Amino acid sequence: MPDSVILRVDRLTKTYKSVPRCLTVLNEVSFEAREGEAIAIVGPSGSGKTTLLGLCAGLDTPTSGTVELGGTNLVRLTENARAALHNELVGFVFQTFKLIPTLTALENVMVPAELRRNRKARSRALALLEDVGLGDRGHHYPAQLTGGEQQRVGLARTFINRPGILFADEPTGNLDADTSETIEH
């Protein structure tokens, strides 16, 4: 196996137990993703896209099958180890931005770096906000930002720890076409 594989999904199955019968959302899905590669998963609503994303990122546990992220089998990790892996390797972009409403834009961006006890968290967060064009909005709360601005803050937060892999769940789904284009760039 070449070293460039960062995500390996093997025979991944997810079944939800619900009355009166079980609902299998994913059935033995397998694929690989290499560094620098971009993979888009498309499908109609309810087809299991978000479930697959959650399982790949280690946010949920599969019914069967394995997920290897950066060479580490997520299924075997303890909760703390999985949290550390998220912090080091994974970046998330959410459809609904998911900024912490009680923190300012700057504080939101700083969170992942602060969790790593990075002393340069503040300066790096300020630089990232500059990069996304929000250098002067750092002290604003999410409620004071537009949807596009919130998503840009989310992006800055995603990149603060220089993630190895980025998971984006319909990142422009809540934005207009022009803003979407800005985000994509």
Partner 1 sequence: MLDKWTWQMANRDSKGSRRRLLPFLSAMVIGVAALVAILSFGHSLERTIDQDAGSLLGGDLRISSSDPFTPTEELLIDSLGGMQARRVSFATSAKFSGQSETRTVQVRAIEQQFPLYGDIAVSPHGAEGEMHSGGSVLVPRSTLSAARVEPGDTVTIRGRHFLIAGILLGARVENAIHMLFEPPVYMSLADLDSLQGSSATYDVFFRFNRDMDLVALEADIQKSYEVRTRIVEDEKEDWQEFLALLEGFLGVVGFFALILGSLGVGSVLQVHCKERHDTVAVMRCLGASSGRATSVYLVQAIAMGVIVGVAAGVVGTLGQVILPLGIVDLLPVDINYRVSLKGLLSGLGIGVGATLLFALLPLSGLREVSPLEALRTAYGHRRIRKSRLGVYALIALGTGLCAWAQSGRVVIAIIYTVAIGICFGLLALTALGFIKLARAITPQIRNYAIRQGMANMYRPNNQTLLMVLALGLGTVMIMTQVMTQGAVVGAYETMNFEAVEFPDLVLPTVSSEELEDVRNLVREHGLDIVSQEIMISLAVDSIYGRSIADSAMVDTAGRSNADRSSHFATFADARLDSLTVLEGTFEPEWHDTVGAAPVAMNSLLAREELHVAVGDTIVFRVNDETALVRIGSIFANAALQSSFVPLAARGIILPRGVLETLPHVRSIMLKADDTQSLSAFYGTVTDRYPDLPVLNVPLILGVVQKVFSRITYMIRFMSLFSIIAGIMVLAGAVMVSRQARVEQTVLLKTLGASKKQVYTIMCTEYLCLGFLATATGLGLAMAAAWAITGFQLNVVMVVPKVPLAVAAGVLMVLTLGVGLLNSRGIYARPPLEVLRAEV
Q: How far is the CB of 88 from partner 1 (least distance, A)?
A: 7
Sole binder of partner 1 in the list 83, 120, 123, 135 (CB under 8 A): 83
Q: Which residues contact 171 (CB under 8 A, 6 or more apart)?
A: 93, 94, 95, 151, 183
H-run or E-run covering 165:
strand 165-168
* Residues in 88-147 that interact with partner 1 by CB under 8 A: 88, 90, 92, 94, 98-103, 107, 111-112, 114-117, 141-143
d(CA 78, CA 101) in angstroms, rounded, equals 29
Q: Does 22 bind partner 1 (CB under 8 A)?
A: no
Q: CB-hemisphere CA count at 13 Å for 79? A: 0
Q: How far is the CB of 57 from partner 1 (least distance, A)?
A: 8
Sole binder of partner 1 in the list 60, 64, 159, 180 (CB under 8 A): 60
Helices 177-184 and 147-159, packing angle to 10 deg: 10
d(CA 69, CA 56) in angstroms, rounded, equals 8
d(CA 60, CA 51) in angstroms, rounded, equals 8
Q: Does 75 bind partner 1 (CB under 8 A)?
A: no
Return the number of the residue (4 or 147) whose C-beta is nearest partner 1: 147
What six digits make up the tokens of 36? 């620098």
* Residues in 31-50 that interact with partner 1 by CB under 8 A: 50
Q: Which residues bind partner 1 (CB under 8 A)?
A: 16, 50, 53-54, 57, 59-60, 79-80, 83-88, 90, 92, 94, 98-103, 107, 111-112, 114-117, 141-143, 157, 161, 169
